[in-house]
Structure 1
């Protein structure tokens, strides 16, 4: 069976549309029309750079290593691969196939698959916008640190002094913590203290949005040119860091500490939940960006192979980043432990003449003491020593600051300050973070712009203006994150504004394809595209395993959010330390509104479809009535409006 192109590229489409409307007995929505000549990728390499660039982001560098370390090391890796195979890749394949078949953004895709759930696409756009707002702030932070990296010594290597006195807040914490909380963010003690705006961050945020706007100026034609650098450069940096890190003392201990398998962790529900959540967010499911990028592919592109390739590149990148992170953190921990042992040995040498030290430990020896020897001795005799002496534990040092911004802007930054040529490594690291964030931002913005342009003719004709306008709005709203308490808003948006809405979006996606439209019919459509039929296993994965996994994840996440008051980590200037504080009532109201606003299009779309059906009872709007891939052999009664339009266009031509 010969496949017809979808959508039609004939110039006579407008004439045909009126004939289609007469046959279907309804007026087409004014905006729902495919462009006469949709853009496409110049090569498969460009497409891979875009998909990999979007899915590989900051979470691969600072989220995955932390989860792996926290949840059993090698055991977590095995669990992650298992969930990737049975949940992540099938859902990723579903989105790739849907976008490629219909050649529309998320709004158009879900409207054609299931008119009753047309609001799914709009919800994806809203979530993408929320994510873009705070994600670009992280790029602004990276730009600030990148600009400060061209100094020697680095401004966060030493505590500043007021006269001859070291600043107390810095002395009580560390130079890197002080620079992050006081110089970069100038943060308040809580989210309630709104405070003034941070001028440096406003300038950096403006620069970040300007870069994104210039990169997206001509759609994928311009963004892909930037992706040649932004998607490849991070791998060059990671390999450089890995080679340098493996040569550092303590790197071996750091890597062993991370990857040592603790299989007993598999018995904890929390580990399964965090592994599933990481698979979900690592692939970028639900954003609509996967669908948008895939929609620019030719119909016969092997999206099944793409799903496996991109997913495993993403996983291997996470493993590579984890090797780098824990090699460097192992070195950092070794430096801290050696300093701790040296300090304690100095104290012990003063206590030794007083008989407070057991005679079996030769503390009078001036040669360096191995941390392992000191730790063993301390565990045996430490209870009888003064309280100011501590066990210099390597594992304890490895646990400090290994998550999120604490890893990138504090722990990793401090580790690099001990390297020879620290400004070079610092500039390289933050340039890598900037590029990782940019490639993800391009995908996020495409998840907004492509569906809207496909849905509305006016926006499609003015896509450049839409891009500029979106970036301006993003910058203006993003100013709330440049307040002195702005980093707390970033945490709030990151933890709650996208999590629940995205899971709900994917639940509806999976349900609409596998149950409303029909998994068998969807596999038929894929067979028409690819020329071969994927294994029937996908049918059962979509209908049962994936759907139940996402519903379970949604249920647990919702219950935990309700029964346990959400908290955030705040910096206390007086104690120079972090503390967990509950969100105030007004912040919880904002959280509820964000989630409600993101999900509102789904019920609105359902109600709208129901009302349309009542107005036109003869119209069958149930999903599964039409095939999303039309062929010459499709009966007229089973052809959708778009299929009819293509058929007429081909007959006229």
Structure 2
């Protein structure tokens, strides 16, 4: 009986050793698999690399292009009051929550919610929002690329009305110079550098006021954007699509190709251009700050409390 118990104990001990070895092997295999996945996804090289990525994520078209427009349309400097409140109580906490979940799970917006499947719809919503924003932001990038190419000309095409695409209502700001041009007590703008008669406007003579009411004055810059860049100068509405604007289509294709080249290898490819992009954005913001010191800059930033009361 004693010999049988000794044999059984030895067998049990060997079984425990085999189980422990198997467990260690499975843990090692799991660690190796996780390391392979991390190498495929890529990692931040350090805290500074992660900081630059967050800075590039936060400072984009929304800050340089959209925010000043919304500030002007919503009362100037008064807009900062609700904006700062929403930023403190909603924006920053949600931003920190997003970073925390992403760093903790090392997953994308769809897979990170495996820890709480009930909230997986949040990841789907984030993916849809990011996709929709990327679509219309790339259109703005295409406009910027078009203007960048056009700016290499000796005479900027959006500064004059002597171009084939200009509409009949286009006027140059250099024409609007006061010269004591009066007629029967009324002051007239000098749309072509000379005084105009009561029935003369935009090159037309002997016209009635009913005809003049259908002509809307537009600046040369606005006319360039609407008629040449967008190609919908005489569009009757959203239903009148017109032909394909091949110039903008090529610029949009170039914008998507540029985005693909920046992100094709994940963190490895985006990290190489991250520092350059941050420097360029800082220079752009400094240039914009210099430009806002031009005359009448106060019309855009001076507070208007009446506007907030109406809202």
Q: 1:75 to 1:169 in 2, by over 3 A?
A: closer
CA distance in 2, matches of 1:262, 1:62: 21
Determine the structure 2 residue equivalent to 1:46. Answer: 49
Quick check: 1:75–1:266 contact (8 Å CA) kept in 2? yes
Q: How does 1:150-229 map to 2 (within 5 A)?
A: 150-160=152-162, 167-171=167-171, 172-187=217-232, 188-229=235-276
Determine the structure 1 residue equivalent to 2:302. Answer: 260
CA distance in 2, matches of 1:121, 1:34: 25
Q: 1:146 to 1:116 in 2, by over 3 A?
A: same
Q: Please state whether the residue corresponding to 1:105 is helix, strand or coil.
A: coil
Q: Please state whether the residue corresponding to 2:297 is helix, strand or coil.
A: helix
CA distance in 2, matches of 1:65, 1:16: 48
Alpha-carbon distance, 1:267 to partner: 4.9
Q: 1:148 aligns with which of 139, 142, 150?
A: 150
Q: 1:264 to 1:223 in 2, by over 3 A?
A: same
CA distance in 2, matches of 1:184, 1:175: 12
Alpha-carbon distance, 1:45 to partner: 2.4
CA distance in 1, matches of 2:100, 2:55: 17
Residue by residue, what CA displacement relative to the aligned partner does 1:426-467 show, whole Å, maximum 9, x if unpaired?
xxxxxxxxxxxxxxxxxxxxxxxxxxxxxxxxxxxxxxxxxx
Alpha-carbon distance, 1:132 to partner: 2.0
Q: 1:218 to 1:265 in 2, by over 3 A?
A: same
Give the number of equivalent residue pairs.
236
CA distance in 1, matches of 2:95, 2:300: 28
CA RMSD across the alignment? 2.8
Alpha-carbon distance, 1:158 to partner: 0.5
Alpha-carbon distance, 1:266 to partner: 5.4
Quick check: 1:34–1:104 contact (8 Å CA) kept in 2? no
CA distance in 1, matches of 2:32, 2:155: 69
Q: 1:265 to 1:244 in 2, by over 3 A?
A: closer
Determine the structure 1 residue equivalent to 2:106. Answer: 103
Alpha-carbon distance, 1:104 to partner: 1.1
TM-score, scaled to structure 2: 0.67
Matched, 1:77 2:80: yes
CA distance in 2, matches of 1:71, 1:167: 31
CA distance in 1, matches of 2:97, 2:118: 19
Q: How does 1:608-619 map to 2 (within 5 A)?
A: none
TM-score, scaled to structure 1: 0.33
Residue by residue, what CA displacement relative to the aligned partner does 1:341-383 show, whole Å, maximum 9, x if unpaired?
xxxxxxxxxxxxxxxxxxxxxxxxxxxxxxxxxxxxxxxxxxx
Q: How does 1:466-615 map to 2 (within 5 A)?
A: none
Alpha-carbon distance, 1:190 to partner: 1.2
CA distance in 2, matches of 1:16, 1:219: 20
CA distance in 1, matches of 2:162, 2:28: 68
Quick check: 1:11–1:36 contact (8 Å CA) kept in 2? no
Residue by residue, what CA displacement relative to the aligned partner does 1:217-251 show, whole Å, maximum 9, x if unpaired?
211111122222222212112213433553x4x1x
CA distance in 2, matches of 1:147, 1:176: 16
Alpha-carbon distance, 1:153 to partner: 1.1
Alpha-carbon distance, 1:62 to partner: 3.1
Quick check: 2:138–2:255 contact (8 Å CA) kept in 1? yes
Determine the structure 2 residue equivalent to 1:305. Answer: none
Determine the structure 2 residue equivalent to 1:126. Answer: 128
CA distance in 2, matches of 1:75, 1:245: 18
Larger Rg: 2
Alpha-carbon distance, 1:143 to partner: 0.6
Structure 1 unaligned residues grouped into runs of 5+? 1-9, 18-32, 271-653
Alpha-carbon distance, 1:49 to partner: 2.1
Quick check: 2:72–2:301 contact (8 Å CA) kept in 1? yes
Q: 1:121 to 1:260 in 2, by over 3 A?
A: same
